[in-house]
Amino acid sequence: MIYEPLTMNLPTKTLIVVAGPTAVGKTAAAIELAKHFNTVVVSADSRQFFREMSIGTAKPSDEEQSQATHYFINSHSITEPFSVGDFEKQGLVLLDELFKTHDHVILAGGSGLYIKAICEGFDDLPTADPAIREKLNQELEEKGLTHLQEKLKSADPVYYDEVDLGNPQRIIRALEVFESSGKPISYYRQATVNQRPFNIIKLALNMPREVLYNRINQRVDVMMQQGLLAEVEALTPYRQLNALNTVGYSEIFDYIDEKTTLDKAIGMIKQNTRRFAKRQLTWFRRDEQFIWFDATRADATNQMIAAVQSAR
């Protein structure tokens, strides 16, 4: 795509990234920043794109979305293929339009790969032999997900610490890249950084682990009260789709299949979400450009605003 030339070749627009683990309070912080800078929020959550998945993805409520315009919320159907590469392309086109009327735009979410795609670009991965994918899918069926997880841990410990280990498609993709090229997927992801025609300031929220884990547990309880079971049951005809191979949905499918009790499924959602939060923190901490804030502080949002203003 072609961008209009900027004065003195220096970017005059700023993308404010708001990242952090699940349940830390990113939505509330992003809305406050959007209101302060009179701008909008672009979601970088890999599941909130999908219209059919609402309760289990903890989407911003209608009331929250009324406080600030959000993009990439309910923008796609689970039946539509939508990759991180698609998000990069569509997101950059959207930002090009938004920066015509806003000096700042907020990019908020916990999907590190999607944030990286907007900020740096998504590296071209080698094309794998279909036979390798078929073999890995057969291993998944015969030996289970744990077997593939262990293979990934051996082949690419860096990616193992970051990927959603409950997502077999992500694990298979990483393994097929490794088996096709002899190089881990983390090698390709770190290969290049594309310059963007806007400034980027990266902010991240965290809180003491015990507090975060309690918030995660409480959020899962609220999801169940809001009707997560009914939401997942309605999606059963589409359960083979990649979008539904994620925490909060896979565990309920196990209950529907009578592989576990509902109480145990809820417990597994909490446990797997806590593990996911740990991997998110590992991902974001590897990027030294992030400025960290304690989400439990009453003045956390004001500190974030000050950080943006001092970076000008």
22 is in an annotated binding site: yes
12 among annotated binding-site residues: no
Cα dihedral angle (297, 298, 302, 307), rounded to 10 degrees? 0
26 is in an annotated binding site: yes
* Residue 192 labeled ligand binder: no
E-strand ranges in the chain read 14-19, 41-43, 70-71, 104-108, 199-206, 290-294
Pairing of strands 41-43, 104-108: parallel
Which residue, 121, 42, 105, 103, is CA-closest to 75?
42
User: Minimal CA–CA distance to 58: which of 271, 283, 215?
Assistant: 215
Positive or negative CA dihedral for 273, 276, 278, 281? negative
116 is in an annotated binding site: no
Element (H, E) at 217: helix 209-226
Residue 9: which residues within 8 A CB-CB, separation 6 or more? Answer: none
Tell me how far apart the alpha carbons of residues 307 and 292 are, in angstroms, rounded to a whole number.
10
20 among the known binding-site residues? yes
Regarding beta strands 70-71 and 41-43, do their DSSP bridges make them parallel or antiparallel, or are they unpaired?
Answer: parallel
Q: Which residues participate in the annotated binding site?
A: 20-27
Q: Which residues participate in the annotated binding site for ATP?
A: 20-27
Q: Which residues participate in the annotated binding site for substrate?
A: 22-27
